[in-house]
Structure 1
């Protein structure tokens, strides 16, 4: 799914060769890695949804070497950037990017059994119906007991809590009235309806991280 987005929502700039560089990815990678180190499984298959430039997934593959990382991205220019980062990293636990539209129903059937799935800075860029599809498909793709980590900006109890969030959400909705910040309580409700356990963590720059643990095998 592609949407009309304001310029402030896409801050990746050309770097060396096919590589793109996003300052936000460089700034938040360490904080997200800390969450993953505390909650992710030590081994297994890890899927990143909407991997963007590729900066995050290469950092994660270095920080969690026991997981085999599969980046995904709908945009071909960004897949080329991911592959450039992957090639530069030269890690055996990091695969080239594959095309995936996570808002399309049914993708879990091809990508099931994941020990870890991570989703960064996507839900505010898509409509609510698409966000619910992403979450439902992700939960279906998780292995029993698997971990799902969601990171990004969210409303708190229906409210935007900083001037920057108010401005960015307004820019998003001006570009496309169907997109914008999602409510933290809605995310928790949609995910916990599957029987999963969910923990919310405050993150730097007024972001949130949801750590979701899928039900184990009965």
Structure 2
């Protein structure tokens, strides 16, 4: 295996469930911008599964970008673009000008709140006119839903690593979305106490 390739075991467990949501929510063609692509394994899988879509991976980490490039080198198709360096917390400096959909997996809780603020600000720049979806995957806290013990433990672990991290209240994410002109249009329950939530311009 290429030394640059990183591996995230959760990718194998959640990629099919996420793909089922993408089949419902993303257009059949166009460009999907993936924010915080991490290892690149999701990008590889989704680009192969949705061969009519141009898939644009991104990440702020040089190690992640190297991993994505290494996986891309083995990709037989032509719709997986080279990864770009993108810091979600700096939406005015994104190297992508437009997209037909955006996907962000497991970033909101493993980053400062400023990254989520930048994510929605960037989505407003890229998606608002076309009405494309911003799709988020990960664990969330909901006022009317009991939090699973595993998610409570995960939240404590994250906050111990960095007090700026942690599971977000879905209501606060909805409020942030509304501030940038988006409304939540779908909520999907996913394996292992995760959610996929979809936002579109109002």
Contact 1:155 1:184 in 2 (8 A): yes
Q: Deviations over 1:89-114 (max 9, x none)?
A: 12111011111111114135x42321
Report the counterpart of residue 9 of structure 2 in structure 1: 23
What residue ranges of structure 1 are gaps of 5+ in the alignment? 1-14
Taking the aligned partners of 1:30 and 1:55, their CA distance within structure 2 comes to 12
Q: What is residue 173 of structure 1 aligned with on the other side?
A: 159
Residues 39, 179 of structure 1: alpha-carbon distance in 2 compared, 3 angstrom cutoff: same
- Pairwise CA distance, 1:213: 2.2
> Which of 95, 116, 134 is the matching residue for 1:131?
116
3-state DSSP of counterpart to 1:201: strand
- 1:106 and 2:92 matched: yes
Normalised by the length of structure 2, the TM-score is 0.91
How does the TM-score come out when normalised to structure 1?
0.85
Equivalent in 190, 195, 199 of residue 208 of structure 1: 195
- Report if the CA contact (8 A) 1:41-1:147 is conserved: no
Per the alignment, residue 39 of structure 2 pairs with 53
The range that moved more, 158-167 or 173-182, is 158-167
Deviation readout 1:14-34 (Å, 9 max, x if unpaired): x54321111001110111110
Q: What does the per-residue CA deviation read over 1:171-209, in whole Å, with 9 as the maximum and x for residues that have no partner?
A: 111122221111111112221343434221111110011
Which residue number in structure 2 is paired with residue 79 of structure 1?
A: 65
| CA–CA separation in structure 2 for the residues paired with 1:161 and 1:98 | 35
- How far apart in 2 are the matches of 1:173 and 1:196? 28
Paired residues in the alignment total: 200
Task: State the distance in 2 between where 1:24 and 1:130 align.
Answer: 22
**Distance across 1 between alignment mates of 2:171 and 2:31:** 29
RMSD of the TM alignment (CA)?
1.8
Deviations along 1:60-89, one digit per CA (max 9) or x if unpaired, are: 111211111111011111111111111111
The whole-number CA distance in structure 2 between the counterparts of 1:158 and 1:125 is 23
